[in-house]
Chain A
């Protein structure tokens, strides 16, 4: 299926490029003739072009010539590609793992200001996501702690395990999550609501020192709050929302991850737990997608030239 997707995407994008070239040639004949006359090539447009533009439009032959000395994207070393958001998933994970090594606290708990600064900077450099352990005056009791493997949550009245498309082995919690159903009904469930259950974390709001005095305000503030959970052992990361409260103190764990979150962090087998970082994601415009994140969302531009 992904192969078919690639082919379709390539076809559609190539069509757009072809249209852009035709437009350019229609509108700017004198400029393009000037380029040809002067034997000028404009760089930055890759090397595969002539074949693609077998129609040999004037624009195509002038604009898509190889750039002297430019390394094709895939030949650049990982550190170069990482800078422009073109590293492989494995390279991104490794980079995050390496950057976080040595920055983590010795014990679970909150991060000091210095730790927060260094850790958040490392995450931002690799993933392009701004994160923090303190946001709008709120802070969890732990930023680095144990997470456990949670069950699926009921998304709407009548939801069942069979309706969940992944990790059915996790089972489904008999009760509702702390914020109730994610959607009013199956028919009304939006993609965003679907993703919220798929990628949720549980946090111990009940043990916050300010909870007794400000529970109403905190309950609202934490609902679907976007966070990132990172497994520093392997550099995997998953963006999720707060979708449940817990786990209980006696479990010895401080966070919970939905089955899909735990799978994304490779913590879904054997002990089904691990020490992770859990930080707030600064995303006021809701642009960071939920789910595993193994690319840099800020530096998405390939530098061909």
Chain B
């Protein structure tokens, strides 16, 4: 199965490693990862919408709703927004740091 459109450029390995190090049960680990995944999804959606004009936002949302895994999504975004990949990566990195800090403090 493919991941969502952003999974090719955003890696959350460090978060997974940190969750694995908590020593919690497997089911609990999955629950935590699901929340992490959801948060990345929302954050990346926010980043993309912030870069697009309203009309293009609608196109993007329709495309995302229709084929969320399609690599064409990121290709379309690259045509509309300069350095969109870099912007998504930066937003994800900021979120990743926040998450890691929360987990490391446990």
Which chain A residues have a beta carbon within 8 Å of chain B's beta carbons? Answer: 2-3, 5-6, 8-10, 12-14, 16-17, 20-21, 23-24, 27-28, 30-31, 34-35, 38, 40-46, 48-49, 59, 63-64, 73-74, 80, 85-86, 88-89, 287, 289, 295, 297-305
Does A305 contact B23, Cβ atoms closer than 8 Å?
Answer: no
Q: How large is the interface on B (under 10, 10 to 19, 20 to 34, 35 or more residues)?
A: 35 or more
* 25 examples of A-B residue contacts, CB within 8 angstroms: A2-B24, A6-B24, A8-B106, A9-B103, A13-B35, A13-B39, A17-B42, A24-B45, A24-B46, A31-B49, A31-B54, A31-B61, A38-B65, A41-B65, A42-B68, A49-B38, A85-B16, A86-B33, A295-B17, A295-B20, A298-B13, A300-B14, A301-B16, A302-B37, A305-B2
A304 vs B3: C-alpha distance when bound (angstroms): 8
User: Could you say which of B14, B22, B34, B45 contacts A304, with CB atoms under 8 Å apart?
Assistant: B34
Q: Closest 6 A-B residue pairs measured CB to CB?
A: A300-B16, A40-B65, A17-B39, A20-B42, A12-B102, A6-B28
Q: How many A-B residue pairs have CB under 8 A?
A: 164
A46 vs B36: C-alpha distance when bound (angstroms): 11
Residue B79 CB within 8 A of the other chain: no
Does A27 contact B17, Cβ atoms closer than 8 Å?
Answer: no
A17 vs B65: C-alpha distance when bound (angstroms): 20
Closest to A304 in B: B37
Residues of B within 8 A of A298 (CB): 13
Residue B87 CB within 8 A of the other chain: no
Residues of B within 8 A of A2 (CB): 22-25, 28
Residues A303 and B35 in contact in the complex (CB < 8 Å), given A42-B45, A85-B16: no
Does B39 contact A28, Cβ atoms closer than 8 Å?
Answer: no
Main secondary structure on B side of the interface with A: helix
A12 vs B62: C-alpha distance when bound (angstroms): 32
Does A16 contact B106, Cβ atoms closer than 8 Å?
Answer: no
Q: How far is the CB of A66 from chain B (nearest CB, A)?
A: 13
User: Could you say which of A6, A16, A42 contacts B39, with CB atoms under 8 Å apart?
Assistant: A16
User: Could you say which of B4, B12, B57, B106 contacts A300, with CB atoms under 8 Å apart?
Assistant: B12
Does B4 contact A305, Cβ atoms closer than 8 Å?
Answer: yes
A162 vs B3: C-alpha distance when bound (angstroms): 49
Contact mask B21-32 → A, CB, 8 Å, 1/0? 111111111111
